[in-house]
Amino acid sequence: MPPPPTAPRPIAATIAVVLRAGQVLLVRRANPPDAGRWGFPGGKIEPGETVSQSAVRELAEETGISAEPRHVFTAIDAFDHDSSGRLRQHFILIAVLCRWIAGEPVAGDDALEARWIDLDRLDTADLALSLDVAKVAAQAASLMSEVRS
């Protein structure tokens, strides 16, 4: 009898949290985990790439936005399960607060849509948000105000 399948090893990935004029940049994901849900632009860290480099690269690929990485501030576990509940993938999403430099969001790469969303409407907006999006956005807004002080 073959040995039982082992759970996949966690995959390191980044998310770029970009704030501008009371809004946060979100994308509607095209791929699992959370396909169809709104979350931060991001993706897997490439070999030899720093966390900050990954965040700004993924941001540009998914939205066309240019930004400056400012601060790594939290990490989130994202799990992708199959229909029977078995773990397919486990991502560790490392959040990087980024300062917007230029560009308007245009969906690209792994994004179905990309747009600015009012921070104060995240909890009430009629959007299917990925887990912890509102919480991470609030953390970023608090951190951004501390950085400016």
CA distance 40 to 24: 9
Residue with tokens 């486990």: 90
- Cross-strand bridge partners of residue 69: 98
Q: Give φ, ψ of 56 to 5 degrees.
A: -75, -30
CA distance 57 to 61: 6
Structure tokens at 112: 């179905």
Find the DSSP H helices in the chain.
51-63, 133-148
Question: Of the candidates 146, 121, 147, which has an alpha carbon nearest to the alpha carbon of residue 26?
Answer: 121
- Catalytic hit among 49, 62, 68, 113: 113
E strands within 21-56? 23-29, 38-39, 42-44
The reply to whether 46 belongs to the active site is no
Which residues are marked as active site?
Answer: 113
